[in-house]
């Protein structure tokens, strides 16, 4: 499968976009101040001067991680292609982070599609079962709910308008497809949804605030047409009537709309990049707050946010041979630190990150990445009122905290130890350790004389760490169960076996888990199906090609079911005009080789041939997709390989082998036979209309030499879970190709 994810930042004074990834961090929980007699983090939070305080007035500090992906065309946080969402959240918790910044797009809120880029099996068991068939918002619900149950808090971040891999190129908070009115309406939708009591655990709401827009910026594509801050002399003062560009005016409107829904939510307002000709990181310039602060309709709910990165992302002027930790402190104080020092409002460094080489984590070299990162951590140690979230958790990111498999151990223990030094523990997870049980299938059928499996998942609650012993009661007579792992700390595959005389009908099987004095239960509705003698048919090749004037063979296998012992007579229908079939053995009780013969004038194209088997009153059917190809040599060949594939999603790789004429641009077309859809495609520009898919070359891969091969084209798609046939015919620049 192909993933090309990351985050992009654009420095205000340059024309190019700098794409960077960010890395996920895991850290040990350490407090920066003496523990309070009152539990830290209770209820909704608000501000007091430069500090964020909880509902009891106890000082708290955001010390968290960014987990991205929901803002991309996947519409789902990343890494779930490798791990269960609970596993990743437990890692975040165990490594000492107290809050997660989750980016999303307006397109996600308004279209709310059903994401598919997650695995159903990992670490020896079924995972992510709760995500199956859910919409993007329902998946966020699931992730937010579990995060809250283990004591984590969440900040939702409006990262961009259309789903995509970078920040918004225009630097604005809206696009033509998602204007400002939509942006505000979508925020009201999110505020309403995540203020629901279902996201409150032990009296503590999980979603504590909203980051109104990721990285507003003024300069881009050589023009200052993006977001400006009130009072900016370089933009004629960025007048408040200029709602098309004035970011503080827009932020105030959105913040007040959210507070009208829930006045207890924190409102996070990022800086832009330039103010009166002084420029820095996108989202990282809050100089304008000194003379033009934001005032919301509800006091003590505003937090200013800045992003900060090192010279590996862009060589800012303050990175040079004279850079010192003190000079960096001066830069941070100039752009955003002064707001906290003056007690104006709290400050949150919503993004900062570095890669996993030791030199880029700690260094004394002036102007280096390592000097910047180590100095910023030291600055945050010295200024405990300043909050932070590291970019990013994601294992596929340049600045990843975790590895590509999203394993629990951080890639760099050095970086994790530095981040651990500025962490801040919260109370508020489940106070009673325990666990829950859930089957992968709550209803299950088993035929007499057969087996069936179900997977029980143990979910830890409140810091539970024990192993759980499983037992089943209520089994029908003649049915037994075997446990793949028992006791288990994660999952166990249960194999039910029914004798040929097992009692047919419906039964409720109760699965009880026990760990010491703690127990939990779940149920499976088990149906025992009586055994009726019959048979099934299956071809050795469900798709088959035959050239005009040639023959091709396929083998039909008869499989006995329920003690069937008869012989089966085969017949074929739906043959293309000009194609006949001969049977090697007919009737048969095992296999029969079918030989298809096409005349030189046989109809070209794909046809569904139905093979029917009959034995007395019992019949069974199977199908073969038979494609007749022209006898003249093809000028091209297409290799189409499906891998991987689960119950709802699949990946495919395509290789083009060109014919005898070189081409400088290409268009590849095919049609799906089973309702498949392309979700995302790389190394080509794809459109789909119904079953027909058209892919054009990218600017960099249009040329294919005579006899040359082009690799690297692939896509992720969805299928119906039953049939995922390889397309029968491809055309390259209008010419039919041979399909392998």
Q: Is 165 considered catalytic here? A: no
Q: How many CB atoms lie within 10 A of CB 550?
A: 16
Instruction: For tokens 């104080």, name the residue.
Output: 333
Q: Is 396 considered catalytic here? A: no
Please measure the distance between the N-terminal and C-terminal CA atoms of the chain and give it in whole angstroms.
20
DSSP state for residue 111 in the 8-state scheme = H
Catalytic site residue from 71, 95, 168, 215:
215
Q: How far is CA 382 from the centre of its chain?
A: 36
CA dihedral 653, 657, 663, 664 (to 10 degrees): 30
Instruction: For tokens 């109760």, name the residue.
Output: 510
Structure-token pair, residue 437: 């049980």
Helix (H) or strand (E) holding 302: strand 302-307
Cα distance between residue 695 and residue 684, in whole Å: 6
Structure-token pair, residue 706: 């005579």
Residue 60 · residue 41 · CB < 8 Å: yes
Cα distance between residue 440 and residue 438, in whole Å: 7
Helix (H) or strand (E) holding 717: strand 709-718
Q: How far is CA 684 from the centre of its chain?
A: 22
Cα distance between residue 164 and residue 74, in whole Å: 9
Catalytic site residue from 71, 168, 351, 374:
351
SS3 of 205, please? strand
The partner residues of 605 in beta bridges, in order of sequence, read 628
Q: How far is CA 457 from the centre of its chain?
A: 21
- Torsions phi, psi for 228 (to 5 deg): -115, 165
- For 54-107, the DSSP string reads -TTS-EE--EEEE---TTSTT-S-TTTTTS-HHHHHHHHHHTT--EEEEEEEHH
Instruction: Report how many helices (DSSP H) and strands (DSSP E) the chain contains, helices first.
Output: 9, 44
Active site residues: 215, 351
């Amino acid at each position: 499968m192909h993933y090309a994810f990351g985050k992009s930042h654009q420095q205000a004074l340059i024309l190019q976009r700098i794409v960077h990834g960010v890395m996920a961090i895991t850290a040990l929980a350490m407090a920066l101040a003496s523990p309070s007699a009152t539990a830290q983090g209770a209820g909704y939070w608000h501000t007091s001067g430069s500090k964020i305080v909880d509902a009891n007035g106890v000082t708290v500090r955001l010390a968290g991680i960014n987990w991205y992906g929901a803002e991309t065309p996947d519409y789902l946080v990343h890494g779930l292609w490798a791990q269960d969402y609970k596993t990743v959240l437990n890692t975040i918790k165990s490594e000492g982070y107290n809050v997660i910044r989750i980016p999303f797009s307006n397109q996600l809120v308004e279209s709310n599609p059903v994401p598919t880029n997650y695995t159903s099996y990992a670490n020896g068991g079924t995972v992510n079962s709760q995500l199956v068939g859910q919409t993007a918002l329902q998946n966020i619900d699931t992730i937010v709910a579990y995060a809250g149950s283990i004591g984590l808090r969440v900040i939702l971040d409006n990262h961009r308008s259309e789903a995509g891999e970078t920040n918004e190129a225009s630097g604005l908070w809206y696009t033509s497809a998602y204007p400002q009115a939509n942006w505000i309406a979508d925020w009201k939708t999110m505020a309403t949804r995540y203020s629901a009591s279902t996201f409150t655990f032990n009296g503590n709401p999980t979603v504590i605030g909203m980051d109104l827009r990721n990285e507003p910026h003024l300069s881009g594509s050589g023009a200052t047409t993006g977001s400006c801050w009130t009072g900016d002399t370089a933009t004629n003062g960025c007048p408040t009537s200029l709602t098309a560009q004035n970011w503080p005016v827009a932020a105030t409107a959105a913040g007040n709309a959210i507070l009208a829904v829930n006045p207890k939510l924190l409102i996070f307002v990022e800086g832009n990049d330039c103010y009166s000709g002084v420029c820095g990181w996108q989202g990282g310039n809050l100089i304008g707050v000194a003379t033009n602060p934001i005032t919301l309709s509800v006091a003590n709910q505003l937090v200013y946010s800045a992003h900060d990165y090192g010279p590996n992302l862009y060589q800012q002027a303050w990175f040079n041979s004279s850079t010192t930790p003190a000079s960096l402190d001066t830069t941070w104080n100039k752009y955003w630190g002064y707001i906290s020092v003056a007690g104006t409002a709290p400050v949150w460094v919503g993004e900062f990150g570095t890669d996993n080489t030791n030199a880029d984590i700690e260094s004394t070299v002036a102007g280096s990445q390592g000097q910047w990162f180590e100095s910023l951590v030291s600055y945050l140690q010295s200024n405990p009122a300043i909050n932070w979230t590291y970019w990013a958790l994601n294992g596929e990111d340049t600045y990843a905290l975790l590895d590509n498999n999203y394993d629990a151990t951080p890639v760099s223990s050095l970086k994790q130890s530095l981040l651990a030094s500025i962490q801040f523990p919260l109370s508020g997870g489940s106070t009673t350790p325990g666990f829950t049980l859930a089957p992968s299938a709550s209803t299950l059928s088993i035929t007499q004389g057969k087996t069936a499996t179900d997977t029980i998942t143990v979910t830890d609650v409140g810091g539970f760490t024990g192993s759980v012993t499983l037992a089943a009661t209520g089994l029908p007579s003649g049915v037994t169960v075997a446990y793949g792992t028992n006791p288990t700390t994660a999952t166990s595959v249960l194999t039910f076996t029914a004798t040929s005389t097992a009692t047919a009908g419906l039964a409720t099987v109760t699965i009880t888990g026990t760990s010491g004095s703690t127990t939990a239960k779940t149920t499976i509705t088990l149906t025992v199906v009586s055994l009726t003698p019959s048979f099934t048919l299956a071809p050795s090749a469900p798709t088959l090609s035959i050239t005009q004037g040639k023959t091709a063979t396929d083998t039909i296998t008869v499989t006995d079911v329920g003690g069937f012992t008869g012989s089966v007579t085969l017949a074929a229908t739906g043959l293309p005009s000009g194609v006949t079939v001969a049977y090697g053995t007919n009737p048969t009780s095992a296999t029969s080789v079918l030989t298809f013969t096409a005349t030189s004038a046989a109809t070209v194209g794909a046809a569904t041939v139905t093979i029917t088997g009959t034995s007395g009153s019992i019949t069974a059917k199977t199908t073969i997709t038979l494609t007749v190809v022209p006898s003249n040599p093809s000028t091209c060949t297409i290799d189409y390989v499906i891998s991987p594939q689960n119950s709802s999603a699949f990946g495919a790789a395509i290789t083009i082998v060109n014919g005898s004429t070189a081409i400088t641009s290409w268009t590849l077309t095919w049609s799906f036979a089973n309702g498949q859809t392309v979700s995302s495609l790389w190394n080509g520009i794809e459109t789909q209309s119904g079953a027909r898919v058209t892919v054009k070359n990218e600017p960099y891969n249009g040329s294919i030499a005579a006899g040359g091969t082009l690799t690297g084209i692939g896509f992720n798609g969805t299928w119906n879970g039953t049939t995922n046939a390889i397309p029968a015919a491809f055309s390259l620049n209008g010419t039919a190709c041979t399909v392998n």
